Structure 1
């Protein structure tokens, strides 16, 4: 059992689902106004290779007609001398390759790789670079140097807050998965496993879930009815009426105004139910390995990361809060009006909305605001020394007497489980929550639960009453208020969130190979070798700490591509058993979403009372991301990130793969020694294994990164620049610096053993320089101002521009490669 809290607090990227879906997480920045022209997905580039071979005659005719002209263009535009604006195309560069003999043109040096895969890789890099790169000093602005072409080429879609290279990779993967899900099952398509009944069955379950999501006509016909059913359940569990009504009797745990003073069964039952369907109002209940005893699984009481608006900073914007309050009133009034009068849920709430809308809505916003201000700062949520607070039931009850944690745990956990302790992220938050509950009427609290439910399931419902909420969410990130994601993209995401390991199986069979897995494993192993060398040279560490650090690197488990246990995605029968409890029907999209949410929660809680399952993965195989899990001391790289332009076929010069994927690998490994990972020893235990002198030296070095990244800013819509939070992004910035430095050293060793060729059109760059171009190419991106502000407030990653400029400033190898005037790095942890 791996909790997201225990995997790297923020994985390599911001999370990959729409932020405006309350049961999901933020997009890898996506993008548009116009939809960019998409190309055929490229995984390992082998598809392009196959196309060229299979259409050789057609290609040859075209090349005979255009070969002479384009050959001159290639020759004079940069085969030997770079032009100010490279215009290479895949076919254009290929004319220098003799299709009949398979030999290079004698005018082209043998040191240049002219295979189709190399040509495609080179053309993509050149497309992304600034057309005016000769006029740009890479030492001054490497982001502009490498990425201006990318920014000119990629418009943001109306439904996107931002996008970067990883977004395009994710969309390529989505296209592969769309083809799988919109095609009939075929034995010939999937040859890794002999066809079997379980395989067909899991495919049909996956496809049924996707098709039910795609059936917008049925979803619109159903409308708000299933959401209103959930609201009726909330009303049943947490009834509220004014004290002067004849049927309402004030419970002993409430005062004369209907305010919660002591333990309340309604509150406990309501929170238990909402937790069971994937929500986290008031408190987020999780199940996680115990940081100080990671073989044992314990309940974890966390602070909800999003009380209503994305972060507490938003509640300080009075104009925004007024718009938010107006949205709440519009949505709740319109939604409850759709129910039949004689079966309308929450009749008391409906009456208040009709007569005292502004007062009720303000009570919801004020309640949220009080909770938001009590939440820990984002950087403290990354600090295990602050969020690890073990307590027993009685201690928690002393902080929050209104809630029976015992009831919630005994209801959700296996019958045999008896909690000896729970981990509490923020005791001060629980104390404040208790105070806020004592100040809030039962009606106000009921309205809050209703609003949270609407926010959580709005994107599983198609109804006009919910349009104001969706418009407001879009505006928060600078999107077109009326834009919505293409439905097939939404449904791929839904299938991945709900039946992700089945989807992973078909993705891996279509787009990943054993050779890719082996090459990725080799790169990660090479990075570990270099990291050990850097540890040995870390004079700021004491001898004992250095030796334990080396042992920690030796112990790091590397997981590549996809899981082969818990579940083994190669085994259809295992996947069928894994998802047996998920009930999927073809005409009930909302019901499918509920079934998946309940299954996910039940599976998480079923881990209590069992040893930690170290075979589980936190990310599905198609995910374009990676993470380090400190409690498991493991680094994990899904197949989704192992594709161009991050990861290439080993036949392509390896400085490309080491520059991008190698740096990703080094980034994740560096987390073992960053501001959080340093608290965990070689077996994943949270313990003080660094002596005082080493800690003091680390803090001095870390402070350099804090100041450096604080100097980066993003434009704030109010006109003032917003500084990056150097403390919040510290761990990621240390990992970026350590990752690229270790990757460069690993590539230099690989290059010494097997020198790579140059790439066509890039010959005037050294291999060292192209290594760094490959690194930066991965971070090319753009973001809307509103989305940039949102990310600065809550994302532990620096903006992509800062991840290029800051990392290059901290790399002595980069400065040496480009002959920069200043060779010394700005900040470094491991020289």
Structure 2
């Protein structure tokens, strides 16, 4: 995910301490700065007309998306920097193999990376590593055998059809329960199976599966049967927009109640095979999907199920198999991504290390690449922005005192986490061999799955991270009301310890505000300060909230970001949470800057390279969203991603921020001024 988001959501009680940082002062009224190169600005564009273009137009004109990327921008640049560091760590670990404890995390990373780089052995193996799984599919003779296969596959860490994970109970966030969620369709959303505009992609997917079957010596005609079964699952699946509703993600049931929903699939052996007790119940949400699974177990021919399972077994492992499988997968995926070349092998190897031992790599990454002083500085920025957010909540004029107090209570329990975990995972139970690439990843899949499921039935751990430190991203977790900023995002242009506060608040400050605002967006506002899914709003206030956010929905619905394709729009409902967070993040961080400027008389007018602090705030905000995207990837994003296109995360946000037009002296009627 190379966009600010929140897939999972963590927390200690906020201290409420106010730490005001002084704005960098200058010896003259117009100093020169190296943290922001104003020569990159496109003087042919007015910031009042197009802030994104003013800041990024020159870069966009001069930049070519790398062949192996679907998009390229600031996030990619910082990700590549992180990957280079990780590559060095892994290669050094390989060089030291045999000279240090083979059971150390570093040795395991070295052995895993070495096995991932051994393309000759991987290619020589062909699809032999899949032989046991394919044999199990071949042995299926009944729908009961299908259910048994799904159960056994889950015990190995697989997730064909559905997955079991641990998570905080929506009604009691202090405890962990099991969540069973749908995983049966492979394309980005149900639309790709059902909407005629995606027919070429569906045809390409069918051809991909045909080739996959051909590569294992199976009848390629089975691909059509497999796709038809997926299509039936897609018909009963939620759209990405509907999946944003917390009510669709939680449905606490007993095993008996779950079995009543799926008489053809017994959940008791499913949980037993994974070493989990479901005595306290588990969440089986998206019931129409599971009802459809039950129907298909009853009516779909066993041979069709076997075709589907074969394609799933091969497809999920394609990147781990020989070159023909990798090439086949790439030929299909480029229809969605638009990229024209596969990633170099070392990037795949680093990705494998991250998927298998991400936290272990993170510990080494932090030791090599993260300055402890950055953590302290970032914590100060966090408190500045959170204090400004509190003031904004206090000053909301349409919210009743009752709801406002609940919002402030939630704010007081919001907890920031910076950089990396306080404690690191124990990897002593994971066995890694230097010469068994496929086996290593299979062992890691099972090990990590067991690690996750071991949380079920235990208290929730608010200190746990859902992202590794080397990830360039950030997130909010509504289930424990925490905001989380991995080490890798705490670098320029987001955060520069040598830059003025205007740049840092426009960069990482807006990200901090973004994540904190998620606690009060259309999803996060359905959870309280402890992470429970409860309604803390009065009916009138909730109606006011819905009415006001509908204006943001309407605004983004009107955008058509692909030139020449006026039929393709942003989905304002799908992107609402992120758009609220972007707007709230900019507002809170901009307020924090103004508070700091107010404490230093004259600072507001001191210029650097001709720009005031308020202007520099918006310049850097526009810079962090610098990105160039292929049309294929943009179409995929608009259908399935809750984030709006990068240019609209600038030009769609600042018109709603009065301080923007004021900062640049924009005349009334300017395209980006609606106040």
SS in 1 for 2:652: helix
Q: Report the counterpart of residue 531 of structure 2 in structure 1.
A: 684
Q: Report the counterpart of residue 255 of structure 2 in structure 1.
A: 393
Higher RCO, 1 vs 2 (CA within 8 Å, ≥6 residues apart): 2
Q: Report the counterpart of residue 266 of structure 2 in structure 1.
A: 404
Contact 1:714–1:721 (Cα < 8 Å) also in 2: no
**Out of 176, 201, 209, which is 2:85 matched to?**
176
Cα-to-partner distance string for 1:117-174 (whole Å, 9 max, x where unaligned): x42x233x543x33xx2x2121111111111122233311222111221110111111
Quote the Cα distance in structure 1 between the aligned partners of 2:132 and 2:657.
Answer: 57
Q: Report the counterpart of residue 63 of structure 2 in structure 1.
A: 154
SS in 2 for 1:722: coil
Alignment of 1:599-678 (within 5 A): 599-649=447-497, 651-678=498-525
TM-score where L is the length of structure 1? 0.74
Q: Residue 335 in 1 paired to residue 216 in 2?
A: yes
Quote the Cα distance in structure 1 between the aligned partners of 2:523 and 2:416.
Answer: 19
| Gap change, CA 1:429 and 1:682, over 3 Å in 2 | same
Contact 2:416–2:482 (Cα < 8 Å) also in 1: yes
| Gap change, CA 1:749 and 1:761, over 3 Å in 2 | closer
SS in 2 for 1:800: coil
Further displaced range: 791-800 or 749-758: 749-758
Cα-to-partner distance string for 1:311-337 (whole Å, 9 max, x where unaligned): 22122333332332222222212223x
Quote the Cα distance in structure 2 between the aligned partners of 1:200 and 1:269.
Answer: 35
Q: Residue 529 in 1 paired to residue 521 in 2?
A: no
| Gap change, CA 1:382 and 1:228, over 3 Å in 2 | same
Further displaced range: 661-670 or 441-450: 441-450
Cα-to-partner distance string for 1:191-220 (whole Å, 9 max, x where unaligned): xxxxx9779922121122112111212221
**Runs ≥4 residues deviating over 6 A:** 196-200, 755-761, 823-828
Cα-to-partner distance string for 1:3-26 (whole Å, 9 max, x where unaligned): xxxxxx9972498xxxxxxxxxxx
Alignment of 1:68-467 (within 5 A): 110=28, 118-119=33-34, 121-123=35-37, 126-127=39-40, 129-130=41-42, 133=43, 135-183=44-92, 201-236=104-139, 239-240=140-141, 260=143, 264=144, 266-304=145-183, 307-315=185-193, 316=195, 317-336=198-217, 350=218, 353=219, 357-358=220-221, 360-414=222-276, 417-467=277-327
Quote the Cα distance in structure 1 between the aligned partners of 2:285 and 2:182.
Answer: 7
| Gap change, CA 1:138 and 1:205, over 3 Å in 2 | same
Quote the Cα distance in structure 2 between the aligned partners of 1:462 and 1:388.
Answer: 40
Q: Which runs of 5+ in 2 are unaligned?
A: 8-25
| Gap change, CA 1:756 and 1:270, over 3 Å in 2 | farther
Contact 1:219–1:461 (Cα < 8 Å) also in 2: yes
TM-aligned CA deviation for residue 413 of structure 1: 3.1
Paired positions, count: 654
Quote the Cα distance in structure 2 between the aligned partners of 1:823 and 1:816.
Answer: 13
Quote the Cα distance in structure 2 between the aligned partners of 1:474 and 1:224.
Answer: 23
**Out of 358, 363, 371, which is 1:500 matched to?**
358
Contact 2:5–2:578 (Cα < 8 Å) also in 1: no
TM-score where L is the length of structure 2? 0.91
SS in 2 for 1:394: helix
Contact 2:45–2:54 (Cα < 8 Å) also in 1: yes
Contact 1:527–1:662 (Cα < 8 Å) also in 2: yes
| Gap change, CA 1:185 and 1:537, over 3 Å in 2 | same
TM-aligned CA deviation for residue 620 of structure 1: 0.3
Further displaced range: 453-462 or 277-286: 277-286
Q: Report the counterpart of residue 36 of structure 1 in structure 2.
A: none
Contact 1:556–1:634 (Cα < 8 Å) also in 2: yes
Q: Residue 821 in 1 paired to residue 661 in 2?
A: no
TM-aligned CA deviation for residue 186 of structure 1: 10
Contact 1:478–1:787 (Cα < 8 Å) also in 2: yes
Q: Report the counterpart of residue 83 of structure 1 in structure 2.
A: none
Contact 2:502–2:616 (Cα < 8 Å) also in 1: yes
**Out of 632, 644, 652, which is 1:786 matched to?**
632
Contact 1:159–1:484 (Cα < 8 Å) also in 2: yes
Which has more radius of gyration?
Answer: 1
Q: Which runs of 5+ in 1 are unaligned?
A: 1-8, 16-107, 188-195, 241-257, 337-349, 568-574
Contact 1:555–1:633 (Cα < 8 Å) also in 2: yes
